[in-house]
A and B are shown apart, each in its own frame.
Chain A
Amino acid sequence: MSTMADFKAEKPTWCPGCGDFGVLNAMQKACVNLGLAPEQVVVVSGIGCSGKMSQHFGGYGVHSLHGRSLPTAQAVKLANRELTVFAAGGDGDGYGIGMGHFIHAMKRNIDMTYVVMDNHIYGLTTGQASPTSDVGHQTKTSPHGTIESPIAPLQLALAQNCGFVAQGFSGNLKQLISLIERAVTHKGFSLVNVFSPCVTFNKINTYDFYREHLVNLDEEAGYNTHDRLTALDRVVGASNLVTGVIYEDPTRLSFADELFGYPKQPLAQASLELSKENYAEILTSFQ
């Protein structure tokens, strides 16, 4: 059995108090709880403070390009279906430059978990407005307050029929661990959007702000995680400030289940050779 120590890498370079510490911890703990060996886990991250996740996590990883963690991660999973694959990054990374990949990852439904550290700000580039910045948020690039309607990741995910939609908060580690465990266990693409405060550049969406405003649906008796319309209603009603498993559809088949001819064995372990018969067959198609 692996332990937390097995998932430790170099000491993170985040600011003390950064929400991303909680997310890292939760990902590591969820993997321990699920009995995963670190070499079986791949974390593909984008670029940003949150993008350092792959280096801090302690499994295999790709620290890819800004906004491109999802295509890379999906291919990792397709290439070796036995691996547990995470994509991880920020709100700018996923909902700004990488938005197209996000929508299509939900459409494609490859079995992996996408963890977004949503701090409503561009951290690494030192405090510009992000796609999820609240209206009126004054940042270096919005000195008069942002005027655009923020991206609502959960609503998008519900609209796109994402098979597992959850939202957590770095300040509630226990819940976050459970959300990530359930996301990993879900067979298909899972979104875990995490309110992960940037203590340095976002003075609005702070730990206290979230503690005050978040509604925990996990604790709400009678909340039905299988009802997409209710989920949307609750998310909109609470101005996105909910946590918990918002929606799950365990019946939706994943890409691998549906892909014609997709081998049961990992592609990465398949032989490169074609047999004489294979060649003969292919050559016939050229005659």
Chain B
Amino acid sequence: MSEDIGWKVGGKQGEGIDSTGDIYAVALHRMGYYVFTYRHFMSLIKGGHTNYKVRSSNQVLRHHGDLVHVLVAFDPTTIDYNWHELVDGAVVIYDTAEFEAKAPDTRNVNLCGVPLTELAKESGNSIMKNMVAIGASACIHELDVEALRPVIQEKFGKKGPAVVEQNMAALQRGFAYFEEHFTVRFPLPRLKEQIPATTHLYASGNQAVGFGALAGGCRFLSAYPITPATEIMYWAIAQFPRYGGVVVQAEDEIAAMNMAIGANFTGVRAMTSTSGPGFSLMMEALGLAGMSETPVVVVDVQRSGPSTGLPTKTEQSDLNEALYGTHGEIQRIVLTPRTVEECFLLTAEAFNLAERYQLPVIVLSDMYLGMSSQTINEFPLDQIHHDRGKLLQVADLEKMGANTYQRYNLDVADGISARALPGQKNGRHVALGNEHSAVGLEIEDMPTRRAQVAKRQRKLADFQHFTGVYQEGNEKASAVLIGFGSTWGVLEEARLVLENSGFYLKHIHFSRLAPFPVEAFQKAMQGVETALVVEQNSTGQLAELIQKEVGFHDRLHRCLRFDGDPFTLQEIIARSEQVFSLGVLH
């Protein structure tokens, strides 16, 4: 019996594939399983192929897994498209009313026709054919249909008890039909223990970013809808107003970014969230934040670029833009959360860093991390703290007296001059994107220019907050997998698979790339002879960054993927075997 089960539902977009996957994933999560979901969809509303994968286990998952044990196919395309993922002996459930399933090759797969539409009609409405399919899946997984009731109640309760009962009936019919006609089963692994609901949470990276922002003191989000970042907005719209926060749907990302800057200038922790195209539109204002030393947090949930690219597919190709984007030179911090938990924590921390260093902090997530809902144990609430940096209080300014405050005071060893906020007496100043004097008037004289540039550069010269370099696996290993952000899960899992076969690797992962953690990384690289840099882009932006910052030119190999699908375990294992000539290692 495998340790985890892969289940997938697929069909045409607009057929309710998403809600089918959601219901099943949430139901399994509520029963106590750990789930990891992955949504494959297209940038259109009706038609096209979409699928929703749910991987379930009795322990925490960090990847959606390569394999599918049960495939619910609402159309023939779903079978063809996902055939290669099916395990030996897998089940395909399809609607006999719609089509006759054909196997593309002779592999041993159970094509199980179920009259989904008919059974749905019998239950009250043909629209419930997805419920019938879930019922059949429950039979394959040896689950009690009644265990799904709370989720059904939650989803359809508003429509009245009759609708709930109809849906339950559809589930039961699907279960009964499969039980009667087919013997193939893929029971879910036994749950190890009953886990309290408070330490068994279901969240996506996007939701975690929203929550992290709120916990971090953010009370203002300005954003413009864009896949795959919009869910951050949704979360904030639902939650911020309950805790005194505001969400503004801006007319475009230029406005969104400038609004976030305006709110931060006024003293409210504020952020904007977007994806590539919007991030590009924010570049000029990013420079304004840098030059005017206004804190701001920008979340870029990356998708495949350039331009409109593959708008509903994942990528890690905005790294260079995050590191270097905007004309001129500014100081910035770039964080690359590895997990849902880190989406929460680093977004919260981004606000401390933004205020402490008075500059833009960019949180680089991506579609895979942002939109994959999964079970986690907890959010690290105990690590939340607030540090507003050098922020003057009314009393401080009163003591200083009139006309002494200098917003861009040059006489600061760490390069950080104190902020005053509108409304405060004696703190009047103008924040500006022009080069400026200590009091904040635009200047063009060379000594002042040089002094202000140097002042801003001092701010990050001694950045010690957290290294953002994580190391797993065998410390002495001479072979290392390197990644940043969302690939943490797949790399860890690949490393563990290899370790189980006796190949001991190291895994180094970044969750901060600017300023680049040179020392910590060099330390982690001690003894490393061969490195495989794994990243979801076509040019190897992280590998180039490493080469620029620390070297290792001869030791870096690349594993790149840029077709929109997230990495599979298998391709990382295969590439590792190739690059590291495994077998030599231990």
Which residues from chain A sit less than 8 Å from chain B, CB to CB? 10, 37-40, 42, 44, 52, 54-55, 58-65, 68, 70-76, 78-80, 82-83, 100-101, 103-104, 108, 259-263, 265-270, 272-274, 278-279, 281-283, 285-287
Contacts and interface: CB of A to CB of B under 8 A. Distances in A.
Interface in B185-226: 197-198, 200-203, 207, 211, 214-217, 219-220, 222
Nearest to B259: A75
Contacts of A267: 219-220, 244-246, 263, 268
Nearest to A63: B432
A87 B163 CA distance: 54
Output the residue of A76, A104, A281 with the most chain B CB within 10 A.
Answer: A76
A37 B215 CA distance: 34
Contacts of A68: 254-255, 258, 285
A273 B386 contact: yes
B269 A272 contact: yes
Given A62-B430, A65-B258, A287-B197, A83 B244 contact: no
Given A39-B427, A76-B422, 16 more contacts: A38-B428, A44-B262, A60-B427, A63-B434, A72-B258, A72-B261, A74-B248, A75-B262, A76-B263, A79-B262, A80-B266, A83-B266, A261-B244, A268-B266, A272-B216, A282-B239
A71 B262 contact: yes
A260 B427 CA distance: 32
A38 B442 CA distance: 20
A57 to B, nearest CB: 9
Instruction: State the 10 A-B residue pairs at the shortest beta-carbon distance, nearest first.
Output: A261-B241, A272-B217, A75-B262, A79-B266, A63-B432, A72-B262, A268-B267, A75-B259, A71-B255, A61-B430
Contacts of B292: 62
Identify the interface centre among B251, B252, B266: most chain A CB within 10 Å of its CB: B266
Contacts of B434: 63
Contacts of A82: 423
Contacts of A73: 262
Interface in B381-400: 381, 386, 388
Contacts of B220: 75, 78-79, 267
Given A263-B244, A278-B243, A62 B265 contact: yes
A282 B258 CA distance: 29
B270 interface: yes
B432 A55 contact: yes
A63 B386 contact: no
A100 B250 CA distance: 11
B421 interface: yes
A107 B430 CA distance: 28
13 contacts: A39-B426, A52-B442, A55-B441, A60-B423, A60-B429, A62-B292, A64-B262, A79-B266, A80-B422, A83-B422, A259-B246, A265-B244, A286-B211
B326 to A, nearest CB: 11
A286 B423 contact: no
A10 B441 CA distance: 8
Contact of B259 (A58, A71, A263): A71
B570 to A, nearest CB: 31
Contact of A76 (B248, B266, B284, B430): B266
Q: Is the interface of B mostly helix, strand, loop or mixed?
A: mixed
> Interface centre among B222, B267, B269, by most A CB within 10 Å?
B267
B148 to A, nearest CB: 16
B247 to A, nearest CB: 9
B252 A286 contact: no
B261 A39 contact: no
B136 interface: no
Contacts of A75: 220, 222, 248, 258-263, 266, 270
Contact of B241 (A37, A39, A55, A260): A260
B424 interface: yes
A116 to B, nearest CB: 18
Contacts of B263: 75-76, 78-79, 267
Given A80-B423, A261-B242, A282-B211, A62 B431 contact: yes
A123 to B, nearest CB: 16
A101 B430 contact: no
Contact of A63 (B246, B252, B285, B430): B430
Given A72-B258, A79-B267, A79-B270, A55 B430 contact: yes
A279 B428 CA distance: 37
B379 interface: yes
Contacts of A59: 428
B288 interface: yes
A55 B429 CA distance: 8
Contact of A286 (B202, B260, B270): B202
Nearest to B378: A283
Contacts of B214: 274, 282
B258 A71 contact: yes
A64 B260 CA distance: 13
A73 B379 CA distance: 35
B107 interface: no
A279 to B, nearest CB: 6
A63 B433 contact: yes
Contacts of B240: 261
B433 A64 contact: yes
A83 B263 CA distance: 12
Contact of A65 (B202, B241, B433): B433
Contacts of B216: 272
A80 B424 CA distance: 12
B201 A287 contact: yes
A239 B265 CA distance: 40
A287 B266 contact: no
B241 A74 contact: no
A63 B434 CA distance: 8
B251 A55 contact: no
Identify the interface centre among B211, B379, B427, B430: most chain A CB within 10 Å of its CB. Answer: B430
